[in-house]
A and B are shown apart, each in its own frame.
Chain A
Amino acid sequence: MSASEVVLELAASPEFFPVARSVTENASLAMGLEKAEARRVAMATEEIFMSLCKSAPGRKLSIRCTPGGYCVITEFVFQDPGFPLEYFNMTSSVSTSNEQDMANLGLLVASRIMDGFSVERDDSGRFMLKLIKEKCYPRHTGEGASHLAPLTAFSVRKADSEEAAYAAAQAVGLYPAHALPRQFLHPRMLADRIDFGGATAAVAVGPGGEIAGIVAWDLSSSGSMVECHGPFLLTRDGNPALCEALLDFCIGDIAKLPVMGLINRRHNRDIPIHYFETVGSLPLTAGNGETFQAPAYFRQMQEDAGCNVWAHESLEEFLEKQYARLCLPRKILRPLGRALDPLSRSVLFSEFDRNAGNVTFLPVSPGRDILPNVEAHLNMANKEAIKNVFFGIDLGRPWQADFAPAVLQAGFSPRYILPYAGCGDMAFFSL
């Protein structure tokens, strides 16, 4: 347990319910959430805890609250083979006439009031359900930003959180929204992430101390990939040397980490693209209706020793072409499949980027209802008028191969592979 965590171990019994609720609420407050958000964490805890009291009465349960700088992560670890994860689908609904549905209404509420979740199940059948609640940050308008005069000399150094937030706010006024990551549009979020160690930034500084450019980067949740944002140039002229120096600094900083790659999924005119490989692009529609292709850039940080990927036959041709084009040494294997409970229901995580009007669906758990579930998620996106709908399949997880035929049948097309972006390579699809 780290010094800043709060860990509670208790039995899934109703008499402990107030303890669980109170600990998560108070831990969330202590970790920086406002009262309203902390109350939501407590509500979600209540619903999950009560559900476990019914489905796994008396079993040991562990609740861990961890600060994330910009958020609080509440993790539940428990053993319950019958836990109804399907209520975490964004498309789930309950029928008032269905007793079981009504019993799980709380889980549905829990999934909706949090900003993100992930679920893992280890070989012993232990669930690790992680819920994320973010702090509220105001969106920056970019007002007042203006280009600096061209620089004759500069140096690059690691940015502190205030410098990074300042440079991010400037970038908001100088670059289109689709080129900017969420934490740039909300510069205090970037500052909190830097202070907490969840993100890093470097700035280029002119002779008078003026901040002339920024690049920021953070480790993916899988720990195998670093995503970089930028470089963003704050001077009037194009300055490739400055942008290369920023990127060199970023690469130097992560060079000794065991990360497989550096990715950049938000193109801007100042990215030195010869540092990367273009793995492909996704069609995007901006808020003003303008459509364009958004390329994804990748740079491998290690020598590729080759690996196996799992794929359904319907995806093989696409993968073979992509791997040949990218010169990536891969063996494509077809999973043998496994017997699923006839009543098992698949679960998808919906990763929203509402600023950009995007949603990406990612498999969380397999089931017998993949096609209807994918279609239901598509309908939800349509109803919410989300313009850009994507799907990601982790080729390092054999069970996810089963999603490919349904995803294709639902109208998605494979667009690109992002090497090592998940447990293995990730394949991304768009409509």
Chain B
Amino acid sequence: MTTCALPDFDRLVPPHIKCFEAYIPSKPDDVLMQYYGCASLLRLNNNENPLGPPEESRQAILDFPPNRASVYPSGDAYHLRRKLAERFGMDLDQFLVGNGANEVIAFVIKAFCQEGDNIVTADKTFAVYEWVAQFSGFEARTVPLKDYGFDDEAMLAAADERTKIFFVCNPNNPTGAYWDRNKLLNFLNRVGNKSIVVVDEAYCEFVEKPDFPDAMELLPQYPNLVTFRTFSKMFGLASLRIGYLAGSLEVVDIIRRTCVVYSVNALAQAAALAALESKHHIENTRALVREAKEYLHHEMNSLGLFTVGEEGCYLMVRLPMSDSLAYRKLMSQGVMIRTMTGFRFPNFIRVSVGEMPAMQRFVHCLKNILRESGHD
């Protein structure tokens, strides 16, 4: 049998792909549990909603007829977009639904960037803006945070005539800091119509502060503003992968040209549609997050550990040891958190908020490892 030579990668692979390394997601729980020798695994690493999806979505999932699995979904999530339009008082063509918010990030970058263009975002934030830009061949200019929040002045200073998009994560993941309404308005005014401003509001439903801006309300005033929302966090539908963007009709019309239709499955569309009908889910989740964060802040303070995390369903904690060592030690006790070295916060961990027993177990295990390491 003849074996053909490998493809001519030198010629075939663009330079920006050659120097980009694939993100390797963590192994499935059962495999991790085997390696770490733990009988159960408490996931406090992905900012998932411990309450799961709202009742309405659960019912929609149960009601989903299995034989509909053989039928293509609505290619552009028509009913969901109509519901979103109704809810926010906008046109349904102002919405695009994607396979998780990650997909809509790619839509926007593909729609506006060409060779030589750049995007501007923060260095310590959700990494997907930076990744998508880089593996698409565009420069990602990352600006250091200021007081754990996005630095508006530095972002503007980092921009030039080739800056097509600013990405602002509000509130920021992982620090929980946010721009208030005045700061966001001031930024939008200064950018003018020269670039697109994306405000990623993946965690906006967790924020209860009165000065927190709702980017959706600002869309009529700022046609260059695009906002991202997701059903993965507050609405507990992470495994179904569904998120959306909203913007002016004109901007969304451009973005739609790069949009992959039929990428969102029918079950996700049905569950998301039902989630928008939920009555008490947001309220219940907020109450849980409030209680758990208060408990965590108190416990971390009593251990003398510095915390960061004003808003959002997560808290960053600075440890007196390497975060990746803490990860392994917590994993061997069945608790999974997120290390922050990859976010450029060495020795920090990010803990997703869970129900009280989960929080108590985390604190107990953390105390164990600090004691073992002589840091109690």
Output the least CB separation between B353 and chain A (Å). Answer: 19
- Answer yes or no: B10 CB below 8 A from chain A CBs: yes
Contact with A303, one of B10, B26, B130, B332 (Cβ below 8 angstroms)? B26
Given contacts A274-B320, A300-B324, 19 further A-B contacts (CB under 8 A): A1-B10, A248-B346, A252-B346, A255-B343, A256-B342, A258-B24, A275-B347, A276-B322, A277-B322, A277-B325, A299-B322, A300-B325, A301-B341, A303-B324, A305-B31, A306-B36, A328-B328, A329-B332, A330-B35
- Answer yes or no: A304 CB below 8 A from chain B CBs: yes
Which residue on B lies nearest to A252, using beta carbons? Answer: B344
Please state if A124 and B36 are interface contacts (CB–CB under 8 Å): no
Which residue on B lies nearest to A277, using beta carbons? Answer: B325
Count of A-B contacts judged by CB separation below 8 Å: 83
User: Contact flags (1/0) for A344-355 with B, using CB distance below 8 Å?
Assistant: 000000000000
Output the least CB separation between B324 and chain A (Å). Answer: 4
User: Contact flags (1/0) for B331-346 with A, using CB distance below 8 Å?
Assistant: 1100000110111101
- Answer yes or no: B287 CB below 8 A from chain A CBs: no
Please state if B35 and A124 are interface contacts (CB–CB under 8 Å): no
Can you give 6 contacting A-B residue pairs, CB < 8 Å? Answer: A274-B320, A303-B338, A303-B339, A327-B325, A327-B328, A329-B32
Please state if B329 and A327 are interface contacts (CB–CB under 8 Å): yes
User: Contact flags (1/0) for B341-357 with A, using CB distance below 8 Å?
Assistant: 11110110000000000
Please state if A301 and B342 are interface contacts (CB–CB under 8 Å): yes
Residue of B31, B36, B327, B341 with most partner-chain A CB within 10 A: B341
- Answer yes or no: A54 CB below 8 A from chain B CBs: no
Contact A304 to B327, CB < 8 A, known contacts A251-B341, A299-B322: yes
9 smallest beta-carbon distances between A and B, as pairs: A306-B35, A329-B35, A300-B324, A258-B21, A252-B344, A327-B328, A251-B346, A255-B344, A305-B27
Contact partners of A303 in chain B: CB under 8 A:
26, 324, 327, 338-339
Please state if B324 and A299 are interface contacts (CB–CB under 8 Å): yes
Please state if B324 and A306 are interface contacts (CB–CB under 8 Å): no
User: Contact flags (1/0) for B303-332 with A, using CB distance below 8 Å?
Assistant: 000000000000000001110110111011
Output the least CB separation between B158 and chain A (Å). Answer: 17
Output the least CB separation between A180 and chain B (Å). Answer: 24
Please state if B332 and A327 are interface contacts (CB–CB under 8 Å): yes
A290 to B234, CA, bound (A): 62
Please state if B322 and A255 are interface contacts (CB–CB under 8 Å): no
Please state if A306 and B321 are interface contacts (CB–CB under 8 Å): no
Please state if A301 and B27 are interface contacts (CB–CB under 8 Å): no
Please state if A302 and B324 are interface contacts (CB–CB under 8 Å): yes
Which residue on A lies nearest to B332, using beta carbons? Answer: A327
Main SS of chain A's interface residues? Answer: loop
Contact with A300, one of B27, B322, B344 (Cβ below 8 angstroms)? B322
Contact A304 to B324, CB < 8 A, known contacts A255-B342, A257-B21: yes
- Answer yes or no: A331 CB below 8 A from chain B CBs: yes
Please state if B35 and A331 are interface contacts (CB–CB under 8 Å): yes
Which residue on A lies nearest to B21, using beta carbons? Answer: A258
A256 to B328, CA, bound (A): 20
Contact partners of A124 in chain B: CB under 8 A:
3
Which residue on B lies nearest to A259, using beta carbons? Answer: B21
A329 to B3, CA, bound (A): 38
Contact partners of B24 in chain A: CB under 8 A:
258, 305
Which residue on A lies nearest to B330, using beta carbons? Answer: A327
- Answer yes or no: B127 CB below 8 A from chain A CBs: yes
Contact A305 to B32, CB < 8 A, known contacts A124-B3, A300-B325: yes
A299 to B323, CA, bound (A): 9
Contact partners of A251 in chain B: CB under 8 A:
341, 344, 346
A275 to B36, CA, bound (A): 23
Contact partners of B3 in chain A: CB under 8 A:
124
Which residue on A lies nearest to B123, using beta carbons? Answer: A252
User: Contact flags (1/0) for A237-259 with B, using CB distance below 8 Å?
Assistant: 00000000001100110011110
Contact partners of B10 in chain A: CB under 8 A:
1
Contact with A275, one of B127, B327, B343, B346 (Cβ below 8 angstroms)? B346
A252 to B122, CA, bound (A): 13
Please state if B342 and A305 are interface contacts (CB–CB under 8 Å): no
Please state if B27 and A306 are interface contacts (CB–CB under 8 Å): yes
User: Which A314-355 residues have C-beta < 8 A from chain B?
Assistant: 326-331
Please state if A255 and B328 are interface contacts (CB–CB under 8 Å): no
Contact partners of B347 in chain A: CB under 8 A:
275
A393 to B308, CA, bound (A): 42
Which residue on B lies nearest to A257, using beta carbons? Answer: B21
Contact partners of B329 in chain A: CB under 8 A:
327
A352 to B327, CA, bound (A): 36
Which residue on A lies nearest to B144, using beta carbons? Answer: A252
Output the least CB separation between A328 and chain B (Å). Answer: 7
User: Contact flags (1/0) for B113-128 with A, using CB distance below 8 Å?
Assistant: 0000000000100010
Output the least CB separation between A386 and chain B (Å). Answer: 34
Please state if B324 and A301 are interface contacts (CB–CB under 8 Å): yes
Contact partners of A326 in chain B: CB under 8 A:
328
A256 to B34, CA, bound (A): 28
Contact partners of A304 in chain B: CB under 8 A:
324, 327-328, 331
Contact partners of A256 in chain B: CB under 8 A:
127, 130, 342, 344
Contact partners of A274 in chain B: CB under 8 A:
320-322
Contact partners of B338 in chain A: CB under 8 A:
303
